[in-house]
Structure 1
Amino acid sequence: MAKIEESKKILAEIGMPTRQQSDLCSYVLLALLKLDEYESWKNSSNEWIRIHDIIIYLREAYGVIYAENSRETIRKQALHHFRNAALIEDNGKSTNSPNYRYRITSETLELLASFGTELWNENMKSFKNHHSTLIDIYASKKRMIMQSVTINGRDFEFSPGKHNELQKAIIEEFAPRFAPGSECLYVGDTTEKDLVKNTEKLKSLGFTITLHDKMPDIVLYLAEKEWLYFIESVTSVGPMEPKRIKEIDEMTTDVKAGKIFVTAFIDFKTFKKFSDTLAWETEVWISEMPDHMIHLNGDKFLGPHKLR
């Protein structure tokens, strides 16, 4: 039996849904195990691996070509479900981090290494008996590294990573200082794009939202002053450049509320890296100096400093 067929059989016996017994999922499982067509299952590996590495391995070992832009498909259709079923774990990094990796759990590795041997049926029975417990264990490990944040009075969890650390700071440090009483209409998460999205309110304010629009990382609305804050959380890419301002303007041509464009940085070092690309008439907030802002607004705030 070809390795791809054996992989499908394993996923079926474990009890994965039919959609997760596909060619894609079966090949991903083989890549995670570092098993080529001629390798024995007893030689299965559970080294940490990136999605990019999975793509490269499948191309070299099986001649199966997945484009680099299929990484999200691999993550959503295979790896996400494997993790939920406690077949794999991740290393707790942000999903947009170059160091984000997955590996087969030790329990799953022990099971799969016995495929094709007289121990397989017994090991599969034992694995299934403890499967629910394993799911709880690995879900608990995942929750331990999540970041709790309160948005509009409700508790949410951000996945780990610097980008979400900064988003948490924007909500908990920036908003009370510079947008007190504001409502969060939108915030994304690195693993859940629309963690909070008040579509009804956004449309009532005049937003035109399509599937192709890329929302700012955070949108706050201060009803008292009718101000909208468009905030980009920048750790590596995505500041308020002129091109980004144009994209948001096109999405909000019918919005009557005042628009405030803010780029948030985690530290001054990161700000300096992007300082020459920032658009005029925008604001800068740096979380390591939360009480201050930098205004790229010409003479709007020009005047003598008031002595205290």
Structure 2
Amino acid sequence: MTDSIHPNVKAAQEILKELGLPNAQTNERAALTLLSLAGVGSNQSLKDSKPELHRTVDLMEFMRIEYGKDYKANTREVIRRQTLHQFMQHYLVTKNRDHLERATNSGLTNYSLNEEILQILKIYPNNGWKKLVKDLVNNTAMLMHKHKRRIAKSQVIVNLPNAAATLRLSAGAHNQLHADIVHKFYLNLLVKKHKSFI
């Protein structure tokens, strides 16, 4: 790829800007991330967007092969924290759609585009894409609420004594172990301590 901006990158940036994402999430890295999530290569159109599961390293490899952008390995965390996280907050992407209970630090952690953004990509630049953008922006809070309810069902609950609220931890064996320690050992310790004062 030459130094000129690829038309797909320009299109992805236009869509991200129309969605109201901050400048840091409408830059080239964000646009390439969106294109990679959609599986749209340099010789394809946005109409070819498809819903696939991608690990961050796979996205980076796609960017390198299709758009000649060779991000270094330590950029993976930047893409995850500064792009994918914001995409999730704007309901463009779902993390671990195939297994919501997957542990946070799993090497299988993946990201995929939500149906609403796929529809926008597939009809861009034809009339109607901006209306779909507006619909998504207007419905983001409701869509996120539904998604958070789905995630809550898989979380590990920790009930602390005398706490005003329960703790919700992400799914995974380590967090389940933490919950078990609190529920079994810590509470037993409190009971024994209480009996010793009687």
Q: Is the aligned partner of 1:47 residue 2:58?
A: no
State the Cα deviation string for residues 79-102 of structure 1 (Å, max 9, x = none).
111111111112221221122211
Choose which of 177, 182, 185 in structure 2 pairs with 1:171: 182
Q: Secondary structure at the match of 1:89?
A: strand
> Displacement, 1:134?
1.8
Specify the code of the residue in structure 1 equivalent to 2:172: G
For 1:27 and 1:99, the matched residues in 2 are separated by 21
Specify the code of the residue in structure 1 equivalent to 2:133: M
Q: If the length of structure 1 is used for normalisation, what is the TM-score? A: 0.54
For 2:9 and 2:159, the matched residues in 1 are separated by 45
Q: Secondary structure at the match of 1:68?
A: coil
Whose relative contact order is higher, 1 or 2, with alpha carbons under 8 Å and at least 6 apart? Answer: 2
Alignment-derived partner of residue 167 in structure 2: 156
Choose which of 117, 120, 124 in structure 1 pairs with 2:129: 120
Q: Secondary structure at the match of 2:177?
A: helix
Alignment-derived partner of residue 105 in structure 1: 114
Q: Secondary structure at the match of 1:148?
A: strand
> Displacement, 1:30?
1.0
Q: Is the aligned partner of 1:23 residue 2:28?
A: yes
Alignment-derived partner of residue 36 in structure 1: 41
Alignment-derived partner of residue 83 in structure 2: 78
> Displacement, 1:44?
0.3
Number of residue pairs the alignment of both structures matches: 180
Alignment-derived partner of residue 187 in structure 1: none
Alignment-derived partner of residue 68 in structure 2: 63
For 2:177 and 2:118, the matched residues in 1 are separated by 36
Greater fraction helix: 2
For 1:41 and 1:124, the matched residues in 2 are separated by 15
Specify the code of the residue in structure 1 equivalent to 2:14: K
Q: Secondary structure at the match of 1:99?
A: coil
* Runs (5+) with no aligned partner, structure 1: 182-308
> Displacement, 1:66?
2.0
> Displacement, 1:70?
2.5
State the Cα deviation string for residues 212-264 of structure 1 (Å, max 9, x = none).
xxxxxxxxxxxxxxxxxxxxxxxxxxxxxxxxxxxxxxxxxxxxxxxxxxxxx
For 1:72 and 1:147, the matched residues in 2 are separated by 25
Q: If the length of structure 2 is used for normalisation, what is the TM-score? A: 0.81
Q: Secondary structure at the match of 1:130?
A: helix
Alignment-derived partner of residue 144 in structure 1: 153
Q: Secondary structure at the match of 2:123?
A: coil
Provide the alpha-carbon RMSD of the alignment: 2.1
For 1:75 and 1:174, the matched residues in 2 are separated by 36
Specify the code of the residue in structure 2 equivalent to 1:10: I
> Displacement, 1:151?
4.4
* Runs (5+) with no aligned partner, structure 2: 1-5, 191-198
Greater fraction strand: 1
Q: Is the aligned partner of 1:132 residue 2:141?
A: yes
Counterparts of 1:206-217 in structure 2 under 5 Å? Answer: none
> Displacement, 1:6?
1.4
